[in-house]
Amino acid sequence: MDLIYEIPGKVKIEWDPTVRAVIDHWITPSLVTLAEFRTLTLEKGLPYAIAHGGHAYIIDNSQARGAFSQEIQAFGGTDVLPAYAKGHIQYFLVVAAADSPLANLSAKKYQAKVGPNGIQLVMVPSMAEAQRWLRERAH
């Protein structure tokens, strides 16, 4: 995997060429500012995915603690997801948080927002399952 971008203690973004996906490994989404979120989604992750023929995002919440602010959740729905769809991102896989109901709730709020953008949301229990799902179903 290739490191795309990192905000220490908050998130690390990688590229998995075997499944053509950007992977966001979240640690403390509640500490991420809107400016940081904009940078990591629209200025780092998405351009990298487009340049490398990406078609999926895997949101790894397995180690996440806390949830995104309401401001970030709104921005995700109004700006990020439409940009992902425009960039030909077809799949949005979310790995559930092991010990954070807040992180899982935050991820579930995206369910209502991805469909209208033409992106398929898949909730999975592990990173391995997310990668397996993409290898088996996504072309």
Q: What is the pLDDT of residues 89-135, one digit of tens each?
A: 999 898 886 654 544 455 555 555 555 567 888 888 899 999 999 99
Q: What is the pLDDT of residues 80-89, one digit of tens each?
A: 999 999 999 9
pLDDT at 103: 47
Mean of per-residue pLDDT scores for the chain = 87
Q: Which residue has the higher pLDDT, 109 or 71?
A: 71
> Which domains does the chain possess?
2-137 (3.30.750.24)
pLDDT at 79: 94
pLDDT at 12: 98
Residue 105 CA, chain-centre distance (Å), reads 14
CA angle 47, 9, 43 (to 5 degrees): 15
Residue 114 CA, chain-centre distance (Å), reads 11
Ordered DSSP codes for the chain:
-EEEEEETTTEEEEEETTTTEEEEEES-GGG--HHHHHIIIIIIIHHHHHHTT--EEEEE-TT--S---HHHHHHIIIIIHHHHHHTT--EEEEEPPSS-HHHHHHHHTTHHHHGGGT-EEEEESSHHHHHHHHHHH--
pLDDT at 102: 47
Kindly state the tokens that stand for 138. 């996504």
pLDDT at 18: 95
